[in-house]
Amino acid sequence: MNLSIVISSIAIIVAMGSFSHPPVEAQSLQTVNIATAAAGQSGYIAALIDAKGIGAKHGLKINNLMMDFTEAANALKLGRAIASAMQPSTAVNLLRSGTDIRLIAPQIWSGNSWLVKKDSPYKSFADLKGKKIGNFARVTGAYFFSAVIAKEKKLDIERDFQSIPAETGALIALLERGEVEAINMFEPHTTRLVLSDKYRVLLDFDEELEKLFGAPPLKSSVGMLRETIEKQPALVKAIRGAYVDAVKMIKAGQDKDFFEAKAKEFFNLSAPEQIAAGIQKNRQNFADLWGESFFQSQNKILQSGISLGLLPKVNVNELWIK
């Protein structure tokens, strides 16, 4: 056979193969709405997935619906979003109310701490008994974790402390003015306050609950309705894959340039030392555990909240999709 004919034939076959299997970018992407927080780490990972083309690699064009956690849960419940950033404690409440929710991937550990003034005399959380402390509202995940920690230390967050509920900015102001002895605070505010050399961490929630239950507490995960999961398993795999890949990128430090560019927008960090510390904390706070032993650890934390009356009684084993 003529060599030129053979070469031409091979070239045609290769070309046909390339047309029959176009790259992901050339394929039509499935558009999905995902509800998530606009700022902080939930907003950051959503922006990272978009900017780095991670969603497209999994065949997705993600429209991020920016809202707070409560609104995000409602968007999922009402069908405005196919998936949502979801606190496990919120998922428990949804499950009890009849919304058949499931969690498919991890996002963020709590990142909360009890913060005190640097020169305060307190050496342990128990030293704050009877003192005024600033805490988030009872319906929040931050309050929930603080109550579980208190319970495990044979204390009651409501009866053994003079708790003053407030939002983030007000809590910081209360501590600055000396109106409370400690506040429940989350990243990146904790890092920024510690770097001011006026404050210190008395107790880190993630470290404490990992000691108690075997894993840090999950503040945010990705939630979907069970009906959607059962009918569209390929979509579940794609959404999970996008978030898992983004977390891996963050854990590996491959998002350094993106973090530096977005530090002010998502975390209100501007000074070089704040940004450097923020990058390290960001890597620590993104969750990369999933599987049976992890589920059991989270279930124990949730069951502790149920025993305190902070969450309704449900079968928490139903929440997790392997």
DSSP 264-283: HHHH---SHHHHHHHHHHHH
Q: What is the pLDDT of residues 275-310, one digit of tens each?
A: 999 999 999 999 999 999 999 999 999 999 999 999
8 within domain boundaries: no
- Over residues 168-198, the pLDDT tens digits come to 999 999 999 999 999 999 998 999 999 999 9
Predicted local confidence at residue 19, as pLDDT = 37
Model pTM score: 0.86
Domain containing 227: what range? 27-110+217-319
51 and 173 both lie in a single domain? no
Beta-carbon count within 10 A of 31 CB: 10
Dihedral of the alpha carbons of 72, 74, 76, 77, in degrees to the nearest 10: 160
- Given a cut of 50, the residues of the chain with pLDDT beneath it are 1-26
The pLDDT value given to residue 5: 42
Residues 130 and 102 in one domain: no
- pLDDT reported for residue 48: 97
pLDDT of residue 21: 41
| pLDDT at position 27 | 63
41 and 178 co-located in one domain: no
Domain-embedded: residue 2: no
Which pLDDT belongs to residue 11?
A: 43
Position 205 in a domain: yes
What is the structure's pLDDT at 73? 85
- The pLDDT value recorded for residue 37 is 84
What are the DSSP calls for 174-230, one per residue?
Answer: HHHTTSSSEEEEETTHHHHHHHTTSEEEEEEHHHHHHHHHSSPPEEEEEEEEHHHHH
Looking at the fold, whether 224 and 90 belong to one and the same domain comes out as: yes
Number of separate domains in the chain: 2
Does residue 16 lie in a domain region? Answer: no
DSSP H or E segment with residue 95: helix 88-97
DSSP at 103: E
